[in-house]
Structure 1
Amino acid sequence: MAANMSAAMLAAGGSVPDDHAAGVAASRSSAFALHSDGFVDRWITAAREKCSLSNMQVPLEAVQGWHREAATGNIHHDSGRFFSVMGVHVRHRVGHHQLEWDQPIIEQPEVGILGILAKYIEGTLHFCLQAKEEPGNVGGVQLSPTVQATYSNYTRAHGGAKPLFIELFIEPDPARRLFARLQTEDGGRFLYKSNRNMIILAGDEVPVELPEGFIWLTLRQIASLIRRDNLVNACTRSILACLVGAGNTGQRDAAAGREGLRDALQWLDDRRAMTHMLTRRIGLNDLREWRLDEKGYFSHVSSSFFRIVGLKVSSQTREVGAWGQPIIENPAPGIIGLLLREGPDGPELLMQAKAEAGNRSTVQLGPTAQFTQGNYEGNAKLEKPFLFEEFAAPGPFPLVHESRQAEEGARFYREYNLHRILMLPEKTELALPPDYRWLTMQQVLVLVHLGEQVNSCARSIISCLL
C-alpha cells in the first residue's frame, strides 16, 4: 500500500493535496503579503525586546520538581510526566565492523503536536507562526509553529493554561489537512521520540487578526527568514520541509518516476537490513565514561559530546511562570550539510542512510553530512564520516547556502548547527560509499510525506531550500 501511495504522490507532484499545490507555489513566489517585510522585521524586533524569560544554570540536584533515582541515577519529574533522562548501551554492527558505546538519552513516551495553521488571505496562502520563548533559545524568541506542545503540555500536567489553537489540531477535519505525519526527533539524543507534524487549513473560526505574539506570513517571507541565523525554530523547519518543491512542475513521466522511487526505497531497505543496532536501557549510574562533574552536571569524561545541566527558569509570558528542568548543552556547534548536483530532472540531493540509536527504524534518510567536528578530531575510536573535510572547510565545492540554525530550545541549551549546502561541479565524479545515494527532490519529498523516514537534521536543512 505504501508503494502505491508513494507512486501516486510522485505522479501528483508531491505531498500537498492537488487543490492546494498551486496555492503553496504561489505563496512561495507572490509579492503580496498581509504584512510588508518591513513590518515583519519590526514585529520580530518588538517580540524579542518583550522577551521576559530568564534562566540560570544550576546543579542537577538543585532542579526544582525533578529528582535522581538513587539506584539508577536516572532523572525524572516528580509527577512522572514530561520526560526522563536515562542511560543506554548501544551496539552497532554493519557487516564486520562493530562499535559499542553508552550515553545519556531523553525518553519521552508521548506524541506531541507541532502544528501550523494556514489560511488564504486575499487569495494568497499564509501560515501562522508564533514568537515563542524557550529556555534554551538562541536569541530568546524564535518563530515557532502555531502550536508546539507535548501531550503533557496540552493536557495541562503543569497546571498552566492550555495552548491557543490546540483544539484545531487534535482531531482536524481531514478536508483541512494539508499535511499530517509523525516525524522522529533527534535520534541521537531522544529515545524513540516522535511528534506529529501538521499543517491545517483554517476557516472563518480563525480571524485574520491574530492574538498578540502570532503573525500570518507567506512562504516567500518564511523562506527569507530561514536564511537568517537562529530565527526560525527547529520545529517550524521540520514541518515546512514537506513544502519544499511542492507545486512545481516538470517531473519526468510517471513510469520513470515510479521506477526511480522503487529503487530508492529498495536501497533504504537494504541498508536497514545490513545495519544491526541493539539499544538497551541502563541507568545513568551504569554509564562507563560519564559522571557528575564538579559543577553538578552530567558530563563525558573527555568533556566532548554533550552534557546534562540543570536550569531554573522564569517567564511572564509562558503557560507557567516558573519551573526547573534538565536540559542538554553541547560544547560546540555541529555541521549539517547537503550536497546538490544538477540531474536530468532538476536538482538531486546526496542523502545518506543514517543509523541512530534512538530511531525506531534504526536507519533513516539523513543529510549528506551530520557531525560535530570535535567529536572526531583526535578520536581514534571514530572514523571521520564521508566528505568530512569538504563540509568542515568548504573549498572545491561551491557554497550555495550557509546559515546557523538553532536546535529546539525546550530540550537543548543555546545549541545551533551550521547548515551548509554545497554544489557538486559539473562533470565531477564522486565515488559513493554504500550508505550514500543521489535522490531527486521529488523522491525525498515522498519519503518526508510517508513519515518517520527522513531524520530531523535532513528536514532542517531541506527547509533551507524553500
Structure 2
Amino acid sequence: MTATDLVLSPGTSAPPLLSRLAVSAAAVEGGVMSNAEMFTWLAERQAEQQQHVERVPFTALRGWRFDNRTGDLRHDSGRFFSVRGLTVKSDFGPVRSWQQPIIQQPEIGILGIALRDFDGVPHLLMQAKSEPGNVNGVQLSPTVQATKSNYTRVHGGSAVPYLDAFRRPDPGRVVADVLQSEQGSWFLHKRNRNMIVEVGPEVRAGDDFAWLTLGQVNLLMRHDNVVNMDARTVLSCLPDWRGADDGPAGDAGWSLHPDREIRTWITRRRAEHEVVVAPIPLAQTNGWLRTPHAVTHCNGLYFDVVAVDVSSRGREVPAWTQPLLEPRGMGVAALFVKRIDGVPHVLLRARAEPGFLDVVELGPTVQCVPENYEHLPSEDRPPYLAEALERRAGARYDVVLSEEGGRFRNAQSHYMIVETEREFPAVSDEFRWLTLRQLDELLRYSHHLNVQARTLVAALRTL
C-alpha cells in the first residue's frame, strides 16, 4: 500500500486507523515536509531558541526557597513542584531501606500529539522545544507538553498553543488517552495524560511546529537526543500499526504466556511486593547533605538537586530560575528480544519503584545507572546488565536519549534493543516474555509499562 492508495474517491469510507498509520510509517521520505526541509527546520529552531543555562547557588533562586521548618524546596506560589524527602522500605533490590530526596508534583499535565491527514497520509504535529535540562537545547516534543501550572499560566507567561484540542476533545477524534507515570525513582506519584487526537484542516503549524509523518518521526528516533521523552511516551500509546491485517505486529494472538497469566502475574507482584514510602522533611533525609550549590549524597552517588538560571528565546517566559535533579552517571535501559515459535517476544521486568502509584510497573530487561552498583557484590548487581553491555556492539538499536528536560539536568540513558538466542531464559519470577501484541494491549491502560519501557516500545516500532 502506498500513500496514493489512500486518496479517497467520493463516496468511499476512510481506511481503518491501523492501515492509515502503516502508510504514515512507510512515508519515511516525508509528506508535507521533506527530510531535508525537516533537518533544516530543526537547525533553524535550534538557532532561534538559543538558551543559556547556568548552575547557580540556591540563594540565586527567584520564587523558590527552602522551608525553614522542613528544609523542603518549594515555589512561593505553592504550584509547579517541590523537592522533599522520602523514606522507603522495600523487599525489591539489593538495598531494602533508604532515604532520598524526591520530586513531588501532584498535578496532572497534558502530553498531546495532534494527528491530521494530508493527501490521505496521517501526519503528527511535532514541536521543536527547548528545555533547560536538555544537553542540546531543542528536541522534538509533542504538540502540547504542559503541566497544569503552565497551562493555567501561574508563571504569568503566554498561552500554550493548541491546548484546546486536548482539553475537551470530541471522543470520536481521540486515538489514545491514558494516564501514564514518569520516573518512579525520581518522582512521587507523577502522572501525565498521554493523548493523540485527530484534528482538521483548521489546525495549522506555527513556526516552532511541523507536520511530520510517522516514518519521519521514527527516523529521528534513531538519532541521539532528538526526540524527547514526552514525545516518546505519547508515541508508544499509538496503536501498533505493524501487521495491521492480522493483528498488531502480525503475531495473531499467540504468546508464550497467555494474557490471563500475564494479568495474574502483574497483580500478584503488586500484591506481594512490600514497598512502604512516607514523606519526611528534606532536612532530615539521612545520607544527604545540603551545600550552597547542591543537595547531594554523602558518597557522591545517585543524583544531585541543583539550581539553574535560564534565559530562553523560545519559551512562554523568557527568563527564570528553578531547581533540577542532576543524575550521577549515564543510564542503561536495555530490552532483550527473541522469537519464540516465530513470534517476537520481549523480556520485561516487574519493577517496584518508590514513586509508583501502583507499587509495580513493567520495565525494560535492564534499567539502571551502572556506577550506582559498582560498590556492591556482583550477585547484587542488576540481572542481565553484564549481558547487555557485552552484546551492545551487536544491538539492533543503540541510541542515547534524554530524560525529561524540564525537571532533570543532563539526564541521559543508552537505550538498547538486543536480540538474543532462542534458549535465552528468564532468570526469576520478576521477568516474563511478552509479545508485541501484549505490549500494545497493556499500553491502553495506566501504570502497566514504565516510562523507560515505553521509550523502548517506541524504539522497537522503528526497526
Q: TM-score with structure 2 length normalisation?
A: 0.92
Aligned to 2:274: 276
> Residue deviations 1:125-175, cap 9 Å, x none?
000100001111121100000000000000011111110000110111001
- Equivalenced residue count is 444
In the superposition, relative to structure 1, how do residues 244 and 346 fare at CA in structure 2: closer, same or farther (>3 Å)?
farther
Residue number in structure 1 paired with 2:39: 41
| Corresponding residue of 2:122 | 125
Q: Is the 8 A contact 1:25 1:246 kept in 2?
A: yes
Structure 2 counterpart of 1:230? 225
Alignment correspondent of 1:290: 288
CA 1:32/1:52 → structure 2, altered by over 3 Å: closer, same or farther? closer
Match of 2:191 among 182, 191, 194: 194
Is 1:455 the counterpart of 2:450? The answer is: yes
Aligned to 1:7: none
The answer on whether the counterparts of 2:55 and 2:306 sit within 8 Å (CA) in structure 1 is yes
* Structure 1 residue 25: Cα displacement: 1.2
Which of 149, 162, 167 is the equivalent residue of 1:165? 162
**How far does residue 52 in structure 1 lie from its aligned partner after superposition?**
2.3
- 1:71 pairs with one of 53, 65, 69: 69
Q: 2:127, 2:150 → 1: CA distance? A: 17
Q: How do 1:101-116 and structure 2 match up within 5 A?
A: 101-116=98-113
Counterparts of 1:357-368 in structure 2 under 5 Å? 357-368=354-365
The corresponding residue for 1:53 is 51
CA contact (8 A) 1:339 1:349 kept: yes
The answer to whether the 8 A contact 2:309-2:320 is kept is: yes
1:182-202 superposed Cα distances (whole Å, 9 cap, x missing partner): 000111100001000000101
The code of the aligned residue for 1:218 comes to T
Contact kept, 8 Å, 2:255 with 2:435, in 1: the verdict is no
Task: Please state if 1:206 is matched with 2:207.
Answer: no
Q: Which residue of 1 aligns with 2:428?
A: 433
Query: CA 1:275 to 1:190, structure 2 compared with 1: closer, same or farther past 3 Å?
Result: same
Structure 2 residue matching 1:327: 3-state secondary structure: strand
Residue in 1 that maps onto 2:413: 417
Partners of 1:161 and 1:454 in 2: CA distance: 34
**Pair 1:32–1:66, CA change in 2 (3 A):** closer
Cα separation, 1, equivalents of 2:251 and 2:417? 28
Match of 2:8 in 1: none
Distance 2:293 2:328 in 1: 16
Q: Is the 8 A contact 1:86 1:106 kept in 2?
A: yes
Q: How far did 1:92 drift?
A: 0.1
Given that residues 244 and 462 in structure 1 are in contact (C-alpha distance below 8 angstroms), is that contact kept between their aligned partners in structure 2?
Answer: no
Find the partner of 1:100 among 97, 100, 107. Answer: 97
**1:139 equivalent in structure 2:** 136
What is residue 343 of structure 1 aligned with on the other side? Answer: 340
Partner secondary structure for residue 46 of structure 2: helix
Instruction: Select the residue among 303, 311, 326 that pairs with 2:308.
Output: 311
Partner-residue secondary structure (3-state), 2:16: helix
Name the CA shift for 1:142/1:270 in 2 (closer, same or farther; >3 Å).
same
Q: Secondary structure at the match of 2:444?
A: helix
Q: TM-score, normalised by structure 1?
A: 0.91
How far apart are residue 331 of structure 1 and its match? 2.1
Quick one: which amino acid aligns to residue 131 of structure 2?
E
Q: Is the counterpart of residue 263 in structure 1 residue 258 in structure 2?
A: no
The answer for unaligned runs of 5 or more in structure 1 is 1-16
Distance 1:341 1:257 in 2: 12
* Preserved CA contact (<8 Å) 2:296 2:304: yes
The equivalent of 1:218 in structure 2 is 213
Aligned-partner SS, 1:291: strand
What displacement does 1:98 show? 6.9
Following superposition, the deviation at residue 94 of structure 1 comes to: 5.3
Measured after TM superposition, the shift of residue 399 of structure 1 is: 1.4
Q: Structure 1 pair 281/118, CA: closer, same or farther in 2 (3 Å)?
A: same
Q: Partners in 1 of 2:129 and 2:329 — Cα distance?
A: 24
Structure 1 residues 431 and 53, CA, compared in 2 at 3 Å: closer, same or farther?
A: closer
User: What does residue 9 of structure 2 align with?
Assistant: none
**What one-letter code is carried by the residue in structure 2 that aligns with 1:169?**
F
Q: Specify whether residues 98 and 188 from structure 1 end up closer, same or farther in structure 2 by C-alpha distance, changes over 3 A only.
A: closer
**8 Å Cα contact 1:376/1:382 also seen in 2:** no
Contact 1:106 1:190 in 2 (8 A): yes
Structure 1 residues 164 and 282, CA, compared in 2 at 3 Å: closer, same or farther?
same
State the distance in 2 between where 1:253 and 1:346 align: 6
Segment of structure 1 superposing worse, 341-350 or 132-141:
341-350
Q: 1:300 aligns with which of 297, 300, 305?
A: 297
Q: Offset of 1:431 from its aligned partner?
A: 4.2
Distance 1:157 1:258, change over 3 A: farther
> Which residue in 2 is equivalent to 1:88?
86
Compared with structure 1, are the counterparts of its residues 201 and 315 closer, same or farther at alpha carbon in structure 2 (3 Å cutoff)?
same
Counterpart CA distance in 1 for 2:206 and 2:198 is 18
In structure 2, the partner of 1:239 is 234
In the alignment, structure 2 segments of 5+ residues that lack a partner are 1-13
Contact 1:366 1:457 (8 Å CA) reproduced? yes
CA offsets 1:422-463 (integer angstroms, 9 cap, x no match): 00124x332421100000001011111112211001001211
Aligned twin of 1:6: none
Q: Secondary structure at the match of 1:211?
A: coil
Q: Deviations over 1:200-226 (max 9, x none)?
A: 10113213xx11010011111101101
Match of 1:243, SS state, is: coil
Q: Partners in 2 of 1:94 and 1:312 — Cα distance?
A: 37
Distance 1:432 1:380 in 2: 18
Distance 2:252 2:219 in 1: 33
Shift in Å, 1:464: 0.8
Report percent identity of matched pairs: 36
